Amino acid sequence: METKSENRCFGGLQGVYSHPSKSTGTEMTFGLFLPEEANDGPVPVLWFLSGLTCTHENAMTKAGAQAFASEYGIALCFPDTSPRGDDVADDEAYDLGKGAGFYVNATEKPWAPHFRMWDYVAEELPELLGKSFPIDLDRQAITGHSMGGHGALTLAMGLPGRFRSVSAFAPICSPTQSDWGTKQLGAYLGPDKSTWAAHDATLLMQDRGLDAPLLIDTGTDDQFGDLLKTEALASAIATRRQPATLRMQKGYDHSYFFVSTFIPDHLDFHAEALFA
C-alpha cells in the first residue's frame, strides 16, 4: 500500500492511499479520514460511496463530513467509483465505464476483467482497512450520493448484518426502470434482467427489506429527479413498513451543496447507531 498524501484535519488525519487490488486487477485509490480517537484504539467507520464521474476525492473534499465525524470519533472511507488505468475499458459517455462502476461485478465484455466494484467495496477494501488501520469492522455504517446512494442501499440490503445504519443522498432508487441503470446494468451484467434485481434498491426493498435504520434525503429541485425514481422506493418502504425516514428537501438540487447541508444530520444519525 502506498501513501499518496496525509493531511492533519479536525484533529485527526485525512489520508489518501493506493494499493494493487485483487478484485479489479488495477491499482485502486481511496481516501480515509481517521479521527483523533483512532490513536487510542479501533474506531467505527462510515463508508461514503460517490456518484457518477467522481473519484475518491470529490466527497472527501466537498461533503464536509470530517468536521462532524471528528466530533463523534468516526472514521470515513471514500472509495473510488471504478477501476482506472490505460488498460481499463471505457466509454465516451460520462455514465458508463470509468467513474461509473455502479457497484456491481461485471460479467460482460469488455467490462468483466476489471469492473468488479461490488467485490472491491464489499470484501477487499473492508479487509484491507481492518488489517492496516485502527478500524472496528464490527461497527460499520454506509452512505452515498446518487450512484453511490444506490451502492449504499444495495450493498446494505445485499449484506444483511453488515451495516448498523444506512443513509443516502439523492440515491438512484430503481436502476432497472431508469436511464440511470438500464444502460449500465445491461452493459455490465448482460440482457438477463434476473441478474439486475440484486442491484435495484426498490426491488430489494420489496423482496427482503433492510435490517438497519435508514435515512434518505433528496432535493425537490434535483435536476436529475426523474432519473432517481424516488417514488418507487418511497412506495416500497411504506408498503413493507420498513423503518425509515425519507425527506424531500425543499429547493435543494443534486450538488455537493445539497450533500454538505445535510451531512451533519447524517453523521448524527449514524453516530446514534454506531455508538448504541
Nearer to a copy of itself, 137 or 248 (CB): 248
Given 146, 167, 174, 178, the catalytic residue: 146
**Total residue length of the chain:** 276
Active site residue 56: no
Active site residue 146: yes
Residue 239: Cβ-neighbour burial (10 angstroms; 0-12, 13-18, 19+): exposed
Nearest distance from C-beta of residue 253 to a copy of itself, angstroms: 11
Interface residue list for a copy of itself (CB under 8 A): 213, 218, 220-222, 225, 230-239, 241-251
Nearest distance from C-beta of residue 225 to a copy of itself, angstroms: 6
- CA distances 45 to 36, 72, 254, Å, are 13, 11, 25
Give the DSSP per-residue string, 74-114. Answer: -EEEEE-SS--STTS---SSTTSBTTB-TT-B--STTTTTT
Question: Which amino acid is it at 75?
Answer: A
- CA distances 49 to 113, 158, 223, Å, are 22, 15, 20
Active site residue 114: no
Nearer to a copy of itself, 37 or 222 (CB): 222
Nearer to a copy of itself, 155 or 205 (CB): 205
Nearer to a copy of itself, 7 or 220 (CB): 220
Nearest distance from C-beta of residue 104 to a copy of itself, angstroms: 25
Given 114, 145, 199, 254, the catalytic residue: 254
* Peptide bond preceding 110 in cis form (omega within 30 of 0): yes
Whole-angstrom distance, CA of residue 214 vs CA of residue 269? 9
Nearest distance from C-beta of residue 161 to a copy of itself, angstroms: 17
Given 21, 222, 266, 270, the catalytic residue: 222
Residue carrying the nine cell digits 426491488:
203
Residues belonging to the active site: 146, 222, 254
